[in-house]
A and B are shown apart, each in its own frame.
Chain A
Amino acid sequence: MSLKTIEISERLKILAASAKYDVSCSSSGSTRSNISGGIGNAAKSGICHSWADDGRCISLLKILMNNNCIYDCAFCVNRSSNPIPRASLTPEEVADITINFYKRNYIEGLFLSSGVFRTPDYTMEMMIRAVKLLRVHHRFNGYIHMKAIPGADPKLISEAGFLADRMSANIELPSRKSLALLAPEKNKDKIFSSIGMIRKGIIENFPAKRAKTPKFVPAGQSTQLIVGASPETDFSIVNLSEALYLRAGLKRVYYSAYIPVREESSILPVAPPQLRRENRLYQADWLLRFYKYTASEILDEKHPFLDLEIDPKSAWAVRNYHFFPVDVNHADYESLLRVPGIGVLSARKIIQARRAGALTPESLKKIGVVMKRAKYFITCSGRPAVQLIDQPERVRNILAGSTERSESSQLLLFPEQVLLPDRESYVSAITGDI
């Protein structure tokens, strides 16, 4: 191999560090089986290969092809005015590293992005060359996620779409105004026209029954929003996400708490990243995607920000207290889903189980309902599990108190996660030691 070793490792370091703020890491949702003589496949459920020191799963070789960006977006670590080391990889190098990492089982595939070098079209062409090498020359069938460079020619976006499993165009800032202020060269229309082009490709090539259409972005389209760099409310962010899911047909919207990438700035905050807010936005996102909530139910003008102390589902329940109590033995599926502590899985199980007989608080616990939250909002055939409380405000405070403790040490993405007592108490319980 003809790569200059030390030199390339330096460049890879620079380009990985430049890509790390993109939070998407998923390698799921696509199935691509191996073609004969080829290498690799894409597993439907995704596989994590390692976990970085920040606890995030590493599934893809996530790199920029070039961090020498001509744009000067204030929030971005790669902005042209930032004095950081610059580097690029050739298409051959990208393909070679991907294949060799893949064969060693380090990764599921490639996540290829780039700063805008020379022109959007030139940048996109270089990325396509790398991915083409992988797909055609190396006959690589693993997962590939490609960024659409805003402003690139529709023909190039379409060409990329037939090679990649997933494409994304990052919106980054949730309003036209903030984009104009912080990313003057990348305007909202350019980004949305890229999203529209990918959407069009997906619809036109949507596999009809039994027809053999070429795959166009089979794992769907995603985007990323940066949270906390600009003054937008959670209400406007959740509204935007809803529109992206419903009208633009996106698969995922990722949220990334803004991490100060410069010491001082007149237009950007220098506060630490708003991790809890990011977590609450992901929870709200779940409500949109899996719980049939609308954005205007989650928040409204009077409540423009998510309650940081309780999850958005509990917050809705407290605000709509007249909806409760819900009787678990009679309510329909949609109403069950509205109860804090009852998830998609437990709602389904409740419907199944109650056919055999009336459910009690004990049986709900067994089903997996988080009674710590649910008990304030339900009855079992008319009987409440605990004395119900008249004032919703008090319920909010109780819920806030209980989440406070469990989240103090670490932010959990899955609030349902059980916290176990420490090991000592088990050992002593079992062995009888004191």
Chain B
Amino acid sequence: MNQLFVYDGTVEGLFSAMDHALKSKTPSPRFTVSADDAGLFDEVFYHETDFIRAKDLYLRIEAKINRESLKNIFYCYLSCSPEKEQIISDYINAGFKYGNKLESHRMLGLVRFLSVEDDTFYAEIEPDNDILPLISGHFSRRMPGEKWIIHDRKRGTAAINRDGRPEILSIELDRIPDRDSCEDIYSGLWKNFYSSIAIKDRTNLRQQKQFMPVRYWKHLVEKN
């Protein structure tokens, strides 16, 4: 049985219905402007347009996929194809999947560990996507003999290294582990290195932000 979302025909209506379907994890939802399209076994929802939802999906597409795809979606919406809702929905799903890959590659470089109590290296991340399972294998190969934790604060999950293999746990940390006494020395050295390596005559902050979006800066030692 499929769930059929009936929206009001506006682009906001479509976005808001799709946002609802995505967040409620509806399996293979369909979208239409007319309930006449419903099959015998379809469950029909009359979706009331919610502008906040529509905007939320809009911003998520912009952040996780890119702006170009918003344009493509809008062009598709304007077309007269009877399957346009399906096409848009598949497109967004594929985009989020692919967006994952982009972010996980970027995150391989942007994770920052602190050395904390008990000879452990601890990193906090807040990625847009649930990429922890995608990146933890890389760190197991990189530091097979160390104790490390990557903590996704947004989702309350963590990857830890157990004998060279990653393990994903769900955790609640009531406090951030205490820093080791030598931590400030090395993070201080890194900050100094970071500021000295830039060539002033070639300053290009736009390019810097393009590769390293500001939303990641919070957890970057060199940016704090």
Contact = CB atoms under 8 A, between A and B. Distances in A.
Contacts of B182: 1, 100
Interface stretch (B23-31, B37-45, B112-120): B112-120
Interface string B12-31: 10000000000000000000
B35 interface: no
Nearest to A417: B210
The contact size tier of chain B is: 35 or more
Interface stretch (B90-98, B166-174, B196-204): B196-204
A106 B110 CA distance: 8
Contact of A33 (B11, B141, B196, B199): B141
Q: Which of B113, B139, B195, B202 has the most A CB atoms < 10 Å from its CB?
A: B202
A57 B211 CA distance: 9
A53 B203 contact: yes
Contacts of B186: 97, 100-101, 104
Contacts, number: 155
Interface string B54-75: 0000100000000110110010
A47 interface: yes
A179 B164 CA distance: 51
Contact of B212 (A12, A51, A272, A429): A51
Q: Which of A8, A13, A53, A103 has the most B CB atoms < 10 Å from its CB?
A: A53
B211 A51 contact: yes
A37 B199 CA distance: 38
Contact of B113 (A52, A58, A104, A273): A104
A34 B115 CA distance: 22
A16 interface: yes
B141 A52 contact: no
Contacts of B145: 37-39
A48 B199 contact: no
A33 B200 CA distance: 37
A106 B191 CA distance: 10
B114 A104 contact: yes
B222 interface: yes
B206 A410 contact: yes
Nearest to A5: B185
A8 B189 contact: yes
A50 interface: yes
Interface residues of A, number: 56
A420 interface: yes
Given A34-B142, A41-B141, A54 B211 contact: no
Given A34-B141, A54-B204, A430-B74, A48 B113 contact: no
A51 B207 contact: yes
Interface in A37-90: 37-41, 47-59, 61-63
Interface in B205-224: 205-208, 211-212, 220-222
Contacts of A352: none
B4 interface: no
Given A39-B143, A51-B212, A13 B202 contact: no
B121 A21 contact: no
B34 interface: no
B9 interface: no
B70 to A, nearest CB: 6
Contact of A410 (B67, B68, B200, B207): B207
Contacts of A217: none
A38 B109 CA distance: 20
A275 B202 contact: yes
Contacts of A41: 141-142
A292 interface: no
Nearest to A261: B201
Interface in A268-305: 272-273, 275
B203 A16 contact: no
Contacts of B139: 105
Contact of A55 (B109, B204, B222): B204
Given A12-B193, A273-B201, A426 B67 contact: yes
B189 A12 contact: yes
Contacts of A208: none
A420 B68 CA distance: 7
Contacts of B141: 33-34, 41
A308 interface: no
Contacts of B58: 430
A50 B114 contact: no
Contacts of A61: 193
A431 interface: yes
A259 interface: yes
Given A52-B208, A418-B68, A103 B123 contact: no
B127 interface: no
A106 B143 CA distance: 13
Contacts of A211: none
A420 B72 CA distance: 13
Nearest to B206: A410
Contact of A20 (B123, B143, B197): B197
B46 interface: no
Given A56-B202, A97-B186, 6 more contacts: A13-B196, A33-B141, A58-B194, A104-B112, A259-B199, A431-B11
Interface of B: 11-12, 58, 67-68, 70-71, 74, 108-115, 121, 123, 139, 141-146, 182, 185-190, 192-208, 211-212, 220-222
